[in-house]
Amino acid sequence: MNKKVMNNPKISIICAIAENRAIGKNNDLLWHIPEDFKHFKEKTMGHVIVMGQKTYDSIGKPLPNRTTIVLSSDPTVNIEGVIMARTFDEVFAKARELEKEEVFICGGGSVYAQTIGMVDKLYLTVVKGNFEADVFFPKYDEFKKVVSQRKSSDENFEYTFLELEKE
């Protein structure tokens, strides 16, 4: 009998959030911070990324050099160049087949809310200030262990790159 070996990669969330946990409005980001985009690219390059259909639609294309799994409960939706999944069980089964090290959950708000209890690590870019939004990141109180923390800024924003794990 040929038994398929399943990988158990680390499951992480990566997201830029305001101090009030705001992450988006009108299906768009609240800010465009080049250093945060670079950080996102460096962390996720070569890995499996997971996002909901609305987040994918806001990006409009698969991100290069990453395997993208798009979650959509609509069985008629099929997007060229990505792997479609209809349930979180299907997402994680496919991710374990494809990824050995780390799977990144990339949004949106509903996907974060439904997966926050399943993840091992958070990569948060915390933007200073409270922003008006219609999408918020879930509470993440159980992630108390600070793995790394680095403050930065640009001409518009102050922000902190945080890596957090559960204690």
Assign residue 137 the CATH number of its domain: 3.40.430.10
> What is this structure's pTM?
0.93
Is the residue at 108 inside a domain? yes
Taking phi first (over 0 means left), then psi (-120 to 50 degrees means alpha), and beta for anything else, what does residue 28 get? beta
Domain, as residue range, for 132: 10-22+53-158
First to last CA, the chain: 40
112-131 pLDDT per residue, tens: 999 999 999 999 999 999 99
Instruction: Give residue-wise pLDDT tens across range 13-64.
Output: 999 999 999 999 998 899 999 999 999 999 999 999 999 999 999 999 999 9
